[in-house]
Amino acid sequence: MGEFTAGTLLGGRITYRQRRDGHRTGFEPVLLAAAIDAKPGERVLEGGTGAGAALLCLAARVPDLTGIGLERDAALAELASINFKNNGLGTVSCVQGDVVKPPFSRDTFDHVFANPPWFDDASTLPPDARRALAHHASPNLLEDWVAALAAMLRPRGSLTLILPAATFAQGVAALRLGGCAGVTLFPLWSRNGQPAKMLILSARRGVKSPDRVLPGLVLHDEAGITMAAQAVLRDGHALSLAGNKV
């Protein structure tokens, strides 16, 4: 059957290969990319980029980005590089390295973002080692990731995370410890009237702006994926928080 599976993102605008035996891409990286308020010519970094889905989607929406994915797994870093090349993204690349020990200087990027591992040690580990690495968080991992990512931000640069709703308080605390403020909470509702299972948190380094809770996005209705969600997942539109200024 082969080591990889081939597919597309954003309604076919992006070709995308991922490992058959590793972490499988869902909605999260596409939604995360839609939340980044990047402009042409800016520098962005994704921590734990995997096979590169989020950076691919962001680069498809914002031309002329300098995008870098940081990935600890050497095979995944190579696969992300291939995905970037296959989509003609010459200014997007992947570097092998650990998010908490990044090979970059302080004040380097305009935007940093991540979909960090979030299952705790009490959760059952997947049998596949790559899936376990992608999903399971060691103690203080979120705080360590945010501290390292925030340090690479230029003043007023944004740090954006997609997280389970249950880790909301931990995520906000980590952003504050990392010197970021003006926290924006964007819930991702599975359906109207149901609790949000996932959310997007975004903040900026060194600002004094107030925190905000936005209406968020409803992903499903009786017909399937909502039209608003399809505009992001299929058509590559930005989420509403991406255009709001701090």
Could you read off the pLDDT of 122-181 as tens digits, one per residue? 544 445 444 444 444 567 899 999 999 999 999 999 999 999 999 999 999 999 999 999
Q: Which helix (H) or strand (E) holds 14?
A: strand 14-19
- CATH number, domain of 43, equals 3.40.50.150
Is residue 159 domain-resident?
A: yes
Domain count of the chain? 1
Which range marks the domain in which residue 13 is found? 4-241
Q: How confident is the model at residue 232 (pLDDT cuts 50, 70, 90)?
A: very high
Residue range 25-49, pLDDT digits in tens: 789 999 999 999 999 999 999 999 9
Is residue 246 domain-resident?
A: no
Is residue 28 domain-resident?
A: yes
Beta-carbon contacts of 224 under 8 Å, excluding residues fewer than 6 positions away, are: none
> Is the predicted pLDDT of residue 188 greater than 60, yes or no?
yes
β-bridge mates for residue 14, sequence order: 9
DSSP-based three-state secondary structure for 126: coil
Strand 66-71 and strand 43-47: pairing?
Answer: parallel
CB atoms within 10 A of CB 55: 30
Strand 109-114 and strand 153-164: pairing?
Answer: parallel
| pTM for the whole structure | 0.89
